[in-house]
Amino acid sequence: MTFPIYNYPKSQEVFKRAFKVIPSGIYGHQGPSEGCYIPHDAFPLFSSRAMGSHFWDLDGNDYIDYMCGYGPNVLGYRDPDVDDAALEQSKKEDCVTIPSSIMVDFAELLVDTVACADWAFFAKNGNDVTSLAVITARAATHRKKIVFFNSYYHGVSPWTQKLDYPGILEEEVCNNLYVNFNDYPALQKLFAEHKGEIAGLIAQPYMHGNFADNFFPDEGYWQKVRKLCDDHHVVLIIDDVRAGFRLDLAGSDHYFGFKADLICFCKALANGYNVSALCGNDSLKDVVSSLTYTGSYWMSAVPFAAGIACINKMKVLNTPKLFEKLGKDLTDGFVAAAKNNDFQLVVSGAPSLFYLRLADDDSLMLHQQWIAACVKRGIFLTSHHNHFINAALTHEDIKKSIEIAEDAFNALRHHSTSLSFNYHL
């Protein structure tokens, strides 16, 4: 089955306007540079509407979307239950001088849902709460250093960036310590070398980094890390911004059988409504109380209403189980489509957050060609990042996605014999 090839004249026209008035035209991970639009003109640049598991670009092209806004779309775009709850709340109030009591309802729901949570603090972006977690760890321990696992991503604040990033001072990252995930002896050694200096260890629940196969913790790894943190009085912070609620509604630490001291949520918290949360155990509640940390929109009521509706619906649907099945069906189909065309597609990470890589060349160039061919036929994938499943994804969507993937593999097979890397398949 062959699919029509998309073009993006309207997107490109608007981009010309954008480039004049916005840095890079579209900055950040949703733009051509950090979004790895390879080749540049194979990807749509602006969307016009979204519904369920689909979005439509400015030229009217329809995509089955496996990036889900890079995570926030967990129930489907414009989910009626979430949108109705948000609409009802907006009729009453949103951003007011004092908070709505719905904030308390939302905090109670999180405490009841998330295994390690005794309290919840709300902000807007994942970066707000990863930063709060690190400040909390330092305030609680009166220590400076933070341990990171190599290939981490915890946001964009200076402390999350690196020595060689423009605008980031050496002094802002000089207390960062780096170690490889799953290398417990190296972590032990690091803790010993910096005994009494480490405030916190911040980590994603498993390695879902970019440009590399994603991988899980070794058996018993997290339990050993938990004990090591306890022995050294180090605050264990789980950054569940990306994986949160897609593996386990009680938190990804619960999924892997341990308890974090602090856990950060954002993306899947309110199905696209703008809220993030830091949850933690009782011992750190008063520490957070002592901090100066707030924001103009952090107590807006509408996202709280959306969050409550979102979590309750995820519970009813048992989304982690649903995502596991949908992700597996989809990626099994992709792998078979690759095999039918003599390619080897490697799927890694959790099925709900699957990462793809064509193993037939080690440069990712072939993979980038295939991704571009998929996008130009109507499934939005990326070549560098894990993907996301949402609850509105239908079996028809999956079937069509696999057919598009097969068509793209077929085109790749016919064009790749010369390895001339013509990306326009």
Nearer to other proteins, 4 or 167 (CB): 167
Give the contacts of 118 (CB within 8 A, at least 6 positions apart).
111, 279, 280, 281, 282, 285
Q: How many CB atoms lie within 10 A of CB 356?
A: 26
Residues 152-171: x/- map of binding to other proteins (CB under 8 A)? ----------xxxxxxxxx-
Q: Residue 199 burial (CB < 10 Å; 0-12/13-18/19+)?
A: buried
Beta strand 262-265 with 235-239 is parallel
Q: Which of residues 394-423 bind other proteins (CB under 8 A)?
A: 421, 423
Residue 348's nearest CA partner among 237, 211, 215, 190 is 215
Judged by CB under 8 A, which stretch of 30-38, 46-54, 117-125, 340-348 contacts other proteins?
Answer: 30-38
Total binding residues toward other proteins, as defined by CB under 8 A: 35
> What are the CA-CA distances from residue 233 to residues 84, 133, 196, 221, 274 (Å)?
45, 15, 8, 18, 34
Report d(CA 297, CA 155) in Å as an integer: 19
Q: Which of 10, 14, 29, 39 binds other proteins (CB under 8 A)?
A: 39
CB of 46 to other proteins, least distance (A): 13
Q: Which of 2, 7, 30, 33 binds other proteins (CB under 8 A)?
A: 33
Judged by CB under 8 A, which stretch of 20-28, 112-120, 183-191, 276-284 contacts other proteins?
Answer: 20-28
CB of 366 to other proteins, least distance (A): 10
CB of 405 to other proteins, least distance (A): 20
Residue whose tokens read 């799927």: 347
CB of 39 to other proteins, least distance (A): 6
Two tokens, residue 334: 């992709």
Judged by CB under 8 A, which stretch of 17-25, 62-70, 220-228, 291-299 contacts other proteins?
Answer: 17-25
Residue 112's nearest CA partner among 272, 308, 299, 390 is 308
Beta bridge partners of 278: 121, 264
CB of 245 to other proteins, least distance (A): 28
Judged by CB under 8 A, which stretch of 2-10, 37-45, 197-205, 373-381 contacts other proteins?
Answer: 37-45
CB of 201 to other proteins, least distance (A): 21
Q: Which of 41, 83, 183, 213 binds other proteins (CB under 8 A)?
A: 41
Residue pair 284/262 in contact by the 8 Å Cβ criterion: yes
Binding interface with other proteins (CB under 8 A)? 15, 19, 23-27, 31-34, 36, 38-41, 162-170, 210-211, 362-365, 368, 384, 421, 423
